[in-house]
């Protein structure tokens, strides 16, 4: 079977490429350049360069349509929000090709952070204290009443359509009112609706699921041990854990309410102040720490392939508990950020591991209980590709 994996620059794309390649699929990988992290893998059958979906959404979608027709692709796995959005627009033009993601209305239901907060509140699922900002005029009228600091600033959508382009909108932080003012006066994306939330200090937990007809068909949970940036971001060191019953129930309620089907990652943070698990976000596509689930025994790419082809999911099975995944270059970035910022930053979590421990994680392999996000002794080229790109970026 021929499958296409988009956005080969991402670690999640590498995980899907390896998983489906080992499963016997011929895997095409696309990216802004032909040479990407995922296309370096021995499990990549062929690689193609396509326009950047953030800059040329329509042209990108047309390029994917043409590749799918020419190469007789059966299933397309869009790996980023911009690819999901671009390809959902042309879903009807793909013919018999399966687009392995939820329709756009379902994606919007979980990607719209305001709607998600409102739905969670309605379902009595705890969320951080939240102030909704409709635009600059609204911000000016509310700015003096926001606090305590630090706060987290989130555009309602992490990718916002702007003509044929998309604005990329990550999470931002403000340690005081002056920093908050600066964000709202300098970031174009904050001219659009946004949320300002309290900063929750506590352990981040991700619940991965294949969800269908109101039920979890496959489940996996992990906790974040280190993140980049340290104030909160992508996981660079994580560990598989048993699913928390309360989180499983909350995730099920949310996904069932929006009529979700397919894979999703529901993220929580356990508030250090009272131990309450609070909803952070829902990701309706493959996530950065996907390789941890695969290494622990829950192969979500293969499960997703079967699901979208109409094959029944196998019974939910046990997986390795306490297995860890590390992204070495991500850990190095975490370390460098902390060395640069020192202890004075108000945005650093209260219970960060000491720097000595982080350095140990950087060099300690961990043996059989630890896997690497990129390094695979049977598939070394992605690591060489990543190292080359990392050193090039350091050199400027």
Q: Are residues 139 and 75 in the same domain?
A: no
- For residue 149, the 8-state DSSP code is S
Of 168 and 140, the structure prediction assigns the larger pLDDT to: 140
Domain containing 211 equals 102-127+202-364
159, β-bridge pairs: 168
Asked if residue 248 belongs to a domain, the reply is: yes
265 and 317 belong to one structural domain? yes
Q: What is the pLDDT of residue 345?
A: 60
CB crowding 219-231: b at 16 or more within 10 Å, else e = bbbbbbbbbbbbb
Domain boundary among 198, 230, 254: 198
In-domain check, residue 389: no
Query: How much is the average pLDDT of 349-358?
Result: 85
Least confident of 159-168, 227-236, 333-342, 344-353: 344-353
Same domain, yes or no: 321 and 209: yes
User: If pLDDT is split at 50, 70 and 90, which confidence band does 346 have?
Assistant: low
Confidence of residue 365 (pLDDT cuts 50, 70, 90): confident
**Average pLDDT over every residue of 48-60:** 96
Both 139 and 213 in one domain: the answer is no
Tokens of 13: 């794309």
pLDDT(343) > 60: no
Please determine, for residue 314, whether its predicted confidence score (pLDDT) is greater than 90: no
Q: What is the pLDDT, as a whole number, of residue 347?
A: 67
pLDDT of residue 349: 72
| 304 or 166, higher pLDDT | 304
Q: In the predicted model, what is the mean pLDDT of residues 70-78? A: 98
Both 248 and 109 in one domain: the answer is yes
Query: What pLDDT is recorded for position 178?
Result: 97
Lowest average pLDDT, out of 157-171, 339-353, 373-387, goes to 339-353
- CA 180 to each of CA 29, 164, 190, 372: distance values in angstroms, whole numbers, following the listed order: 40, 29, 11, 37
Element (H, E) at 123: none
202: left (phi over 0), alpha (psi -120 to 50) or beta: left
* Residue 121 and residue 144 in one domain: no
Cβ 265 vs Cβ 300: under 8 Å: no
Structural domain contains residue 73: yes
Q: Please tell me whether residues 96 and 122 are part of one structural domain.
A: no
Same domain, 43 and 135: no
**Maximum mean pLDDT: which of 123-127, 134-138, 344-348:** 123-127
Number of domains in the chain: 3
For 207-255, the pLDDT digits (tens) are 999 999 999 999 999 999 999 988 888 999 999 999 999 999 999 999 9
The whole-number average pLDDT for the span 356-385 is 92
339 in a structural domain: yes
pLDDT computed for residue 227 by the predictor: 92
CATH of the domain at 211: 3.30.470.20
CA distances from 50 to 47, 58, 199, 330 (A): 10, 11, 38, 27
Residue environment code for 310-337, b if the CB has 16+ CB neighbours within 10 A, otherwise e: eeeeeeeeebeeebbbbbbbbbbbbbeb
Partners of 131 in beta bridges: 196
Averaged confidence pLDDT in the chain: 93
Confidence of residue 152 (pLDDT cuts 50, 70, 90): very high
Q: Mean pLDDT throughout 108-133?
A: 96
């Amino acid at each position: 079977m021929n499958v296409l994996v988009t956005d080969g620059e991402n670690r999640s794309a590498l995980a899907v490429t390896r998983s489906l390649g080992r499963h016997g699929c011929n895997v095409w990988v696309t990216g802004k350049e032909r040479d990407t992290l995922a296309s370096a893998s021995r499990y990549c059958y062929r690689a193609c360069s396509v326009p950047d979906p953030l800059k040329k959404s329509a042209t990108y979608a047309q390029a994917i349509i043409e590749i799918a027709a020419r190469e007789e692709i059966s299933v397309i796995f869009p790996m980023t929000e911009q690819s999901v959005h671009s390809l959902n627009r042309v879903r009807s033009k793909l013919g018999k090709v399966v687009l392995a993601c939820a329709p756009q209305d379902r994606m919007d239901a979980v990607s719209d952070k305001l709607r998600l907060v409102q739905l969670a509140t309605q379902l009595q699922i705890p969320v951080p204290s939240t102030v909704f900002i409709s635009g600059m005029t609204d911000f000016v009228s509310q700015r003096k009443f926001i606090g305590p600091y630090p706060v987290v600033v989130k555009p309602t959508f992490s990718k916002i359509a702007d003509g044929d382009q998309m604005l990329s909108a990550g999470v931002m932080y403000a340690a005081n009112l002056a920093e908050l003012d600066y964000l709202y006066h300098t970031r174009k994306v904050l001219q659009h609706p946004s949320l300002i939330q309290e900063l929750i200090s506590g352990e981040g937990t991700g619940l991965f699921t294949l969800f269908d007809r109101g039920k979890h068909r496959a489940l996996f949970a992990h906790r974040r041990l280190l993140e980049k940036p340290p104030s909160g971001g992508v996981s660079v060191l994580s560990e598989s854990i048993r699913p928390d019953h309360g989180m499983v129930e909350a995730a099920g309620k949310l996904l069932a309410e929006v009529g979700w089907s397919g894979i999703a990652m529901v993220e929580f943070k356990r508030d250090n102040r009272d131990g309450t698990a609070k909803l952070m976000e829902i990701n309706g596509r493959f996530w950065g720490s996907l390789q941890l689930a695969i290494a622990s025994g829950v192969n979500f790419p293969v499960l997703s392939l079967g699901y979208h082809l109409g094959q029944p999911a196998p019974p939910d099975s046990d997986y390795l508990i306490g297995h860890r995944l590390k992204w070495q270059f991500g850990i190095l970035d975490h370390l460098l950020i902390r060395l640069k910022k020192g202890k004075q930053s108000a945005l650093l979590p209260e219970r960060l591991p000491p720097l000595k421990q982080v350095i140990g994680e950087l060099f300690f392999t961990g043996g059989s209980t630890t896997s690497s996000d990129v390094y695979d002794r049977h598939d070394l080229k992605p690591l060489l590709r990543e190292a080359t790109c990392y050193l090039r970026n350091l050199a400027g």
